[in-house]
A and B are shown apart, each in its own frame.
Chain A
Amino acid sequence: SQELEQSPQSLIVQEGKNLTINCTSSKTLYGLYWYKQKYGEGLIFLMMLQKGGEEKSHEKITAKLDEKKQQSSLHITASQPSHAGIYLCGADNAGGTSYGKLTFGQGTILTVHP
């Protein structure tokens, strides 16, 4: 099984709809990162969460961390075609000895129809 499970694997929504992507770690989470990727390109950093209960927002994207469940959710409000892409969660499972290593989920492919 994957160390970091993302769900759903793909999502198709109509413009204006809200959506949620989940990320669950099988190991202790010291930090959780959300990235967005356009196919074949690099990852764009969205948000970093470190403390249980922490919630951060950037424009219409909100991410929360549930430390007890070792889970994070990414919520997009009133989706737009510009939100389309691949969303990846990355986990720091080593704390002070992570030394540049993040473990990533398989990604969620988001399609937004105008």
Chain B
Amino acid sequence: KAGVTQTPRYLIKTRGQQVTLSCSPISGHRSVSWYQQTPGQGLQFLFEYFSETQRNKGNFPGRFSGRQFSNSRSEMNVSTLELGDSALYLCASSREGKGNQPQHFGDGTRLSIL
């Protein structure tokens, strides 16, 4: 069974640009969560999608957005990039996003802002 796949693995952008990251969940998993990991703040929850609907959102500015497609694949978009957006972005999938279902993570996308 294939795991969670994130593309690309590495990305370099400059301030002011925008970026789109992609996540393919484990087959049969309909919930996709996105996290940002930085040395200073650790792992922080961005948002969760289930059946193409955002059900939960963390405390991040509106520059961070996402969407989910009918096949459960998800994309995350960050507009007007800032230096502080440099981070490892991780997505995780679970069957239904319930607290009693483990989330399985991808290897992440390392985003560097110059």
Chain A residues with CB under 8 Å of B90's CB are: 42-43
Q: Provide the main secondary structure of the chain B interface.
A: strand
A72 to chain B, nearest CB (A): 15
Residues on B facing A (Cβ under 8 Å): 4, 6, 31-33, 35, 42-45, 48-50, 55-56, 58, 88, 90, 92, 94, 97-100, 102-108, 110
Which A residues contact B (CB, under 8 angstroms)?
Answer: 30-31, 33, 35, 40-45, 48, 50, 88, 90, 92, 94-96, 98-107
Contact residues in B for A41 (Cβ distance below 8 Å): 107-108
Most B Cβ at <10 Å: residue of A48, A90, A98, A107: A98
Are A99 and B4 within 8 A (Cβ)? no
> Is there an interface contact between B97 and A98, defined as CB atoms closer than 8 Å?
yes
- Chain B neighbourhood of A102, CB < 8 A: 33, 45, 103
